[in-house]
Amino acid sequence: MCIILSAALIGPRIINVIWWLVAADRWAATFSGPLVPILGILFLPWTTLAYVLVAQDGLTGLGFVAVIIGLFADIGTYGSSAYKNKDKIGFK
């Protein structure tokens, strides 16, 4: 279970960084500077991944749904790790 949780936390960040290095022009077209993508990769990696995938020319109907699904994936990832650690000292 720990391996799956680690992959869910680290996996999208690695994918984002590799995609940023391979397709820098797509990231430059999506974001105006490096600060927002860096913060997105650190705190909301699934949302950032979905946003870069669908919003190169702007965010529209189904693209907005994809970004919302990415946001729920981020919330779920953080929520599941908090739920797993609830029995540790300091979480009672």
Q: What pLDDT score does 56 carry?
A: 77
What gap in Å lies between CA 15 and CA 90, rounded to an integer? 33
Which is more confident, 48 or 78?
48
Q: What pLDDT score does 35 carry?
A: 94
**For residue 14, is pLDDT > 70?**
yes
**Residue 87 — pLDDT band, cuts 50, 70, 90?**
low
Please write the tens of the pLDDT for every residue from 26-57: 999 888 889 999 999 999 999 999 999 998 77
Classify 79 as helix, strand or coil: helix
**Residue 6 — pLDDT band, cuts 50, 70, 90?**
confident
What gap in Å lies between CA 42 and CA 37, rounded to an integer? 9
pTM of the model: 0.77
